[in-house]
């Protein structure tokens, strides 16, 4: 191909030669205008012959400029235009599938056969190696575009009571299956596209063809809604209809990254997966929500179902051993647990979904290495605490009523279950995380004990239960000090036992009026923080050097936080 000299705009026109595309756009617009004329509408074969004639002209042009001029760049533009013409030809038949099904299926068969003949003729005569695993997905996409509307012809005899919009909704799912049929060729890696008989290299060849085909199928999805939607005033089109196509394309990107060992593409595909959840929302500015609400009521929320698919995709990616997949899986499971089946976010603790929590708990200790890590067991405990609280609350709600000052009863139950597991973890494990968790428990247990002790003054009838609970917190601190050899927890247990005496004071006819409820809560927390603050100040002032016990406390801090106190 010869170079050209001149302004940049001239070079652009020369190198990219957009005139074939402009020609096709003008002619297709002419075909569109002609559909409004009665003579063309009553003779669909004439319109189809115009498509065939123009496509044949383009195919012959591509053959000549490659065979005798080796102008592959212009030929590539023509190949793209031919693919768009095939899609346009299939769309021009849509209306006939309702008014004249016999003619429509004949035109669809003829159009699909013509597309195959043109494609195969160019491939064989130009020596292009378009392998079978590329051919089949392309023909599957074209077949979907040509023959899917036949379902609307079958509706009256097979599904007379079915809302036609459900058939339209099925189209993007069939398209996604055709897109996923590319996976076998992708797993052959780019070597499968090597020595293809053209100057194009992977991924330009062959994926530029399929990118354009997918864009065409997205357009066909829009055309399906415009052609067959029985409620054009309301309309069913919305971004949520393209979720199956979005998910399938995202998965193809992951497959390419996995096959080619491209870490950046793998990471990008994992980032892209949750975008489909945003598409699944019925954005009022892009769609009418009437049919969306009907889908949510009869089948399920598109947002919820898309979230489930995304979680499944991340699970497969993690099982495949992809780097950073675990973090994405955790985030997706957390998101699923915070969403209700109706697609709305949870508003109360009792609505938190159980199954994502259980999956996350199993994942956190799934491998041999994680089984011996305290952090994994703590994450698992955090996840299991939600379903455990929801299961035990009906039986223990009355007993834990005085503790609900912290939050709802279910949240209090989850917190207690988590505290119990944390105490077991610091006694069993000896790693860095266990040491840090031990320090956090040493501050948390007396603070919770002080808060409960002060709050029970407002409900003296619960003094017996509350004092027993606070005493149990002190016993937990004492057990940690023995089994985990923690001097800090010995001090924690002393504070908790002191709070136990305060919690039992209503038994001695000492209580606080309901009018001082907020004051009592803040006083309890404030006193606990005051005692901890005095301890820290004493360490900073050096007063603790005179006492060997405090030196042991400082050693615990240094072991848990290496950059801690000197």
Residues 6+ apart with CB under 8 A from 302: 240, 243, 280, 281, 282, 292, 295, 296, 343
Whether 481 is in a domain gets the answer yes
Helix intervals (H) in 301-373: 302-319, 325-337, 354-364, 368-371
Q: Compute the distance between CA of residue 363 and CA of residue 351 in angstroms, rounded to an integer.
A: 22
For residue 208, being part of any structural domain is answered with no
* Structural domain that includes position 432: 365-560
pLDDT in tens, the chain (566 residues): 444 444 444 444 444 455 555 665 566 555 555 555 444 456 777 778 878 888 888 888 888 888 877 777 777 778 888 888 898 888 888 888 888 888 889 999 999 999 999 999 988 988 888 889 999 999 999 999 999 999 988 887 777 788 888 889 999 999 999 999 999 999 998 888 888 888 888 888 888 889 989 999 998 998 888 888 777 655 677 888 899 999 999 999 999 999 999 999 999 999 999 999 999 988 766 666 778 888 888 888 899 999 999 999 999 998 888 888 888 988 898 888 888 888 787 766 667 788 888 888 887 877 656 767 788 888 888 888 877 777 766 555 555 554 544 445 667 778 888 888 888 888 888 888 888 888 888 888 888 887 777 777 666 767 777 788 888 888 888 888 888 877 777 777 887 887 777 777 666 554 444 444 455 555 555 665 666 666 666 556 655 555 455 556 566 666 666 654 44
In a domain, 163, yes or no: no
Closest C-alpha to 179, from 219, 138, 240: 138
Q: Which residues contact 25 (CB under 8 A, 6 or more apart)?
A: none
CA angle 535, 476, 424 (to 5 degrees): 110
pTM above 0.85, yes or no: no
**Residue 377: inside a domain, yes or no?**
yes
Report whether 477 contacts 419 (CB < 8 A). Answer: no
In a domain, 275, yes or no: no
Within-domain flag for 509: yes
Residue labelled with tokens 């505290």: 419
For residue 419, the model assigns a pLDDT of 87
Q: Is residue 177 part of a domain?
A: no
Q: At residue 104, what are phi and psi to the nearest 5 degrees?
A: -65, -45
Count of domains observed in the chain: 1
Answer whether residue 456 is part of any domain: yes
How far apart are the C-alpha atoms of 101 and 149, rounded to whole Å?
Answer: 10
| pLDDT given at position 173 | 96
Q: Residue written as tokens 């357009």?
A: 219
Report pLDDT for 1.
Answer: 46
Q: Collapsing DSSP states into helix, strand and coil, what is residue 475?
A: helix
């Amino acid at each position: 191909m010869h170079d050209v000299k001149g302004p940049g705009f001239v070079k652009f026109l020369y190198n990219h030669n957009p005139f074939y595309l402009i020609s096709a756009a003008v002619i297709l617009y002419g075909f569109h205008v002609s559909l409004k004329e009665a003579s063309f509408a009553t003779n669909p074969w004439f319109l189809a012959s115009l498509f065939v004639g123009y496509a044949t002209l383009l195919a012959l042009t591509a053959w000549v400029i490659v065979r005798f001029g080796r102008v592959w760049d212009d030929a590539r533009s023509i190949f793209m235009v031919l693919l768009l013409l095939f899609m346009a030809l299939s769309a021009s038949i849509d209306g006939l599938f309702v008014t004249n099904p016999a003619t429509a299926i004949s035109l669809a068969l003829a159009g699909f056969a013509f597309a195959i003949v043109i494609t195969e003729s160019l491939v064989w005569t130009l020596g292009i190696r378009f392998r079978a695993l590329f051919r089949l997905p392309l023909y599957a996409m074209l077949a979907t575009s040509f023959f899917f509307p036949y379902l609307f012809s079958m509706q009256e005899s097979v599904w007379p009571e079915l809302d036609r919009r459900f058939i339209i909704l099925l189209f993007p799912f069939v398209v996604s299956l055709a897109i996923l049929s590319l996976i076998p060729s992708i797993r052959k890696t780019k070597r499968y596209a090597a020595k293809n008989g053209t100057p194009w290299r992977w991924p330009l060849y062959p994926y530029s063809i399929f990118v354009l085909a997918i864009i065409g199928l997205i357009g066909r999805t829009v055309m399906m809604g415009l052609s067959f939607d029985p409620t054009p005033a309301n309309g069913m089109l919305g971004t949520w209809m393209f979720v199956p196509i979005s998910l399938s394309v995202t998965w193809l990107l992951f497959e390419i990254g996995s096959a080619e060992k491209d870490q950046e593409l793998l990471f990008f595909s994992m980032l892209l997966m949750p975008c489909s959840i945003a598409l699944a929302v019925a954005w009022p500015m892009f769609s009418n929500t009437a049919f969306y609400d009907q889908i949510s009521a009869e089948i399920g929320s598109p947002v919820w179902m898309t979230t489930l698919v995304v979680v499944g995709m991340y699970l497969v990616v993690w099982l495949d051993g992809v780097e950073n997949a675990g973090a994405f899986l955790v985030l997706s499971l957390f998101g699923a647990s915070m969403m209700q089946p109706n697609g709305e976010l949870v508003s109360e603790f009792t609505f938190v979904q159980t199954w994502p929590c259980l999956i996350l708990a199993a994942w956190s200790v799934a491998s041999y290495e994680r089984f011996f890590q305290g952090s994994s067991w703590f994450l698992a405990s955090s996840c299991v605490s939600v379903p455990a609280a929801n299961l035990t609350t009906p039986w223990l709600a009355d007993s834990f009523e005085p503790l609900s000052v912290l939050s709802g009863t279910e949240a209090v139950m989850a917190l207690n279950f988590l505290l119990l597991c944390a105490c077991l973890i610091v006694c069993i494990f000896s790693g860095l995380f266990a040491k840090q968790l031990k320090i956090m428990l040493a501050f948390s247990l007396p603070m919770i004990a002080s808060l409960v002790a002060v709050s029970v003054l407002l409900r003296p009838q619960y003094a017996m239960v509350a004092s027993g609970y606070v005493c149990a917190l002190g016993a937990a601190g004492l057990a940690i000090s023995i089994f985990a050899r923690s001097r800090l927890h010995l001090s924690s247990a002393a504070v908790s036992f002191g709070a136990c005496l305060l919690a039992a004071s209503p038994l001695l006819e000492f209580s606080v009026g309901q009018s001082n409820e907020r004051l009592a809560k803040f006083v309890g927390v404030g006193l606990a923080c005051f005692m901890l603050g005095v301890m820290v100040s004493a360490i900073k002032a050096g007063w603790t050097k005179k006492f060997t016990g405090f030196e042991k406390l400082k050693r615990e801090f240094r072991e848990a936080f290496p950059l801690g106190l000197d």
